Amino acid sequence: KSTQLLSVIDAISEGPIEGPVNGLQSVLVNQTPVVDRDGNTNIHGVKVVYRVGEQEQTPLEGFESSGAETVLGVQVKYDNPVTRTITAANIDRLRFTFGVQSLVEANSKGDRNPTSVRLQIHLERYGQWVVEKEITITGKTTTQYLASVIVDNLPPRPFGIRMVRVTADSTTDQLQNNTVWSSYTEIIDVRQRYPNTAVIGLQVESEQFGSQQVTRNYHFFGRIIHVPSNYDPVARTYSGI
């Protein structure tokens, strides 16, 4: 099984604030609370980290990078490597997302068996193509399977990147092993604290939502401010004069 994660940081407000009203019940993905009132999980594979907006708050663990994804969705053929050019000067790493549209081999008896396919990721270093990653995908699936690898130690810009299929293309319906380069992501390593800003980082397994756009809503107690001593902020009432 392949897993695709949505990772996003949302700014809530100027801080400091109090925080979630009721834990993960206060985090809604596509209008559904992550957990229900009884503590049962409605949405699986969710990670939530937040900061309330203090001056000296720490960065969000697990959200130390930002990335710009370029979607390709192009088939990679044995005799036709797919090439792109990287020009951004400030990126630290690249994430390549690739996979198979299906991966299965049928024999003469009709049995459907696992098989494998090989790919390579090349980077252009000082005018020469260099193999950076050797990839073998093994298994059996009748649906798309995607995987990702990270390449760092990038050469000076601009430089080329290339996805190469090493395994010969299938010439029969008995062997299904088409390969696809889904996207690449230009990653900048950051450790932002967002001082005086209440922020929340959310990661969720996005495939469970299909083609739907993933929306986020949060139910938080707001800013901490000075109020009169005779004011009850929960009941929102005053007592006495």
C-alpha dihedral over 21, 26, 31, 35, to 10 degrees? Answer: -140
Distance CA 67, CA 92 (A): 10
> What is 65-188's CATH number?
2.60.120
CA distances (Å), 95 to each of 14, 27, 144, 152, 161, in order? Answer: 33, 28, 19, 9, 11
Cut 0.85: pTM above it: no
User: What is the pLDDT, as a whole number, of residue 2?
Assistant: 56
Query: Does residue 220 carry a pLDDT above 80?
Result: yes
Contact 106, 113 (CB under 8 A): yes
- Cα gap 16→70, rounded to integer Å: 36
Positive/negative CA dihedral, 207, 162, 134, 111:
positive
Please tell me the distance from the alpha carbon of residue 184 to that of residue 199, in angstroms, as a whole number.
27
User: What is the structure's pLDDT at 64?
Assistant: 83
User: Does residue 133 register a pLDDT over 90?
Assistant: yes
Task: List the single range of 51-60, 148-157, 184-193 with lowest mean pLDDT.
Answer: 184-193
The pLDDT mean for the chain works out to 93
Domain span(s) for CATH 2.60.120 in the chain:
65-188
CB atoms near residue 234 (< 10 Å) = 6
Average pLDDT in the 19-44 region?
95
Express as a percent the part of the chain with pLDDT over 70.
98
- Taking only the tens place, the pLDDT of each residue in 63-112 is 888 888 999 999 999 999 999 999 999 999 999 999 999 999 999 888 99
